[in-house]
Amino acid sequence: MEVFASEGKLYGAVTDSGIGIPEAALESIFDKFYQVGSTTRGVREGTGLGLAITRSLIEMHGGRIRVESTPGKGSRFEFVLPLEGPAPPARKPSELDERTHSVLFVTKETERAQRFSPLLSANGFQLLQAESLSEVEDRLKKHGIKAAIVDVASFGAEAWHIMQLLREYRSRSKFHILALVVSQTHNELLGADAVLLKPVEPSLLIRTIRDLVVASPGQPSRILVVDDEHEARELVGETVASIGLLPVLASSGKQALEILSRGPIAGAVVDLLMPEMSGFELIARIRQNAAWSNLPLVVLTAKEMDAAEIHELLVRTDAIFLKSSEWKHSFLQKITDLLKTSTAE
């Protein structure tokens, strides 16, 4: 769930990973007594009044609610409510102070870009929009930007020309490129500084932009900790933090890849026994990406491995530790040594 206030309005969103809603039913789900098929248990539940009451209450207070959904993946409900008191006047570009950075959003889905505007503004960013190659070039000539968000999925072949233009300008002006894609297959061809899979959570997009734009000299090295077990993940995170490093926790291989794509990571600690994407697969995908091919990788696992698995890990990772052993002291020493070597290179 996300809630934030900006320019006299309260914005909220609730996202789930349920069965989703068919497109044909999206217009009817706010009607009284309307129900969409069955639940995950195969039976109808409730009265069909919840969303109707929700919309009624929101509209009673001068707000609005909308929904996006993908069958089989889940739904996202977004609402906006006016706050009491006059909204602060919007500032013109010339009035923006030095803490405000311009972000160029390149997409044909203009309404989606506009929904990000209040959240960007609340985090010190001014939104510029472009819907075509010519508009991108016009914005780049007239404005100094700190980042460009490119909705690659909303363009066809033109996306490659847009990325090429942005890369050319990036070589002369310092800014970062964030690509929004529907598949990670061709990430390495985009030349972006970070890549996120659509649909993307607004909060994740903002965090990624902040990671790219906001300089943070002197901050501790960020260590990615990947483990599907909460207690194990927290323990490793606390252990890493005990020597002054900043743990970044991920509960799955997919989440780990998203974190790696959006910001600097100094090293990673990976468990092997994870559902959906195993540690072996995650390690392989990390090493296949040129940007992460030299990333220090340490395995910390409870898995009993055969000779072939151990050999595979020795080739692709920097160290292997078993959770069943007294691993902490040697683990921390290895992490420290790997970071020193990596920094020296």
Is residue 265 domain-shared with residue 333, that is, in the same domain?
Answer: yes
Is pLDDT of 215 > 70?
no
* pLDDT in the model for residue 343: 60
Residue 311 falls inside a structural domain: yes
Q: What is the CATH number of the domain that holds 71?
A: 3.30.565.10
pLDDT at 246 over 60: yes
pLDDT in tens, 77-128: 888 888 764 444 433 333 333 345 789 999 998 877 777 777 777 667 888 9
At residue 37 the predicted structure's pLDDT band, cuts being 50, 70 and 90, is: low
Neighbours of 197 (CB within 10 A): 17
What is the CATH number for 161? 3.40.50.2300
pLDDT of the residue at 317: 93
In a domain, 208, yes or no: yes
Domain termination residue (choose one: 58, 82, 106): 82
Are residues 190 and 102 both part of a single domain? yes
Torsion, CA 133, CA 135, CA 141, CA 147, rounded to 10: -80
Burial of residue 64 (number of CB atoms within 10 Å: 0-12, 13-18, 19+): exposed
Residues 115 and 189 both lie in one domain:
yes
Asked if the structure places residue 75 within a domain, the reply is yes
Encoded tokens for 165: 């233009």
Sheet holding 64-70, edge to edge: 2-6, 9-15, 74-82, 64-70
How many of the other CB atoms lie within 10 Å of CB of 242? 10
Instruction: Please report the pLDDT score of residue 12 as a whole number.
Output: 83
For residue 6, what are the domain limits? 2-82
Task: Tell whether 90 is covered by a domain.
Answer: no
Distance of alpha carbon 294 from alpha carbon 286, whole angstroms: 9
Specify the 3-state DSSP secondary structure of 136: helix
Q: Which of 51-65, 175-189, 284-298 has the highest mean pLDDT?
A: 284-298
pLDDT of residue 285: 92
Q: Does residue 122 belong to any structural domain of this protein?
A: yes
Q: Are 105 and 180 part of one and the same domain?
A: yes
Q: Is residue 239 included in any domain, yes or no?
A: yes
Mean pLDDT check: name the lowest of 133-147, 187-201, 240-254. 187-201
Q: Model pTM greater than 0.85?
A: no
Last residue of a domain, which of 168, 185, 213?
A: 213
The tokens of 4 are what? 């934030």
Tell me: do 337 and 235 sit in the same domain. yes
pLDDT of residue 35: 60
Q: Which residues pair with 74 in a beta bridge?
A: 70
Check pLDDT > 70 for residue 70: yes
Q: Is 328 helix (H, G, I), strand (E, B) or coil?
A: helix
Mean pLDDT of the chain: 79
Least trusted range by pLDDT, from 11-15, 27-31, 75-79, 251-255 = 27-31
Q: How confident is the model at residue 166 (pLDDT cuts 50, 70, 90)?
A: very high
For residue 296, cis peptide bond before it (omega within 30 degrees of 0): no
- Percent of the residues in the chain that have a pLDDT greater than 70, as a whole number: 81
Q: Are residues 170 and 283 in the same domain?
A: no
pLDDT at 219: 57
| Residue 326 clears pLDDT 60, i.e. is over it | yes
pLDDT number for residue 190: 65
Which residues have C-beta within 8 Å of that of residue 265, sequence separation ≥ 6? Answer: 222, 223, 224, 248, 259, 295
Q: Check whether residue 234 and residue 136 sit in a common domain.
A: no
Spatial CB neighbours of 198, under 8 Å, sequence gap ≥ 6: 151, 153, 180, 181, 182
Is the per-residue pLDDT at 40 higher than 60?
Answer: no
92 in a domain, yes or no?
no
327-336: average pLDDT: 88
Both 73 and 114 in one domain: the answer is no
- Calpha distance 345→337 (Å, rounded): 13
Please tell me the least confidently modeled range out of 11-25, 27-41, 272-286: 27-41
**131-145 pLDDT per residue, tens:** 999 999 999 998 889
Per residue in 266-307, pLDDT tens?
A: 899 999 989 889 999 999 999 998 888 889 999 999 888 888
Question: What integer is the mean pLDDT of 49-66?
Answer: 78
Q: Which two tokens stand for residue 229?
A: 């077990």
CA 69 to chain centre: 18
3-state secondary structure of 47: coil
Tell whether 251 and 226 lie within a shared domain: yes
- Percent of the chain scoring above 90 in pLDDT: 18
In this structure, the answer to whether residues 207 and 237 fall within a common structural domain is no
Q: Domain end: 213, 248, 273, which one?
A: 213
- Could you tell me if 39 and 118 lie in one domain? no
Whether residues 101 and 70 share a domain: the answer is no
Structural domain total, the chain = 3
Residue 88 counted as domain residue: no
Span 34-56, mean pLDDT?
57
Looking at residue 91, its pLDDT comes to 38
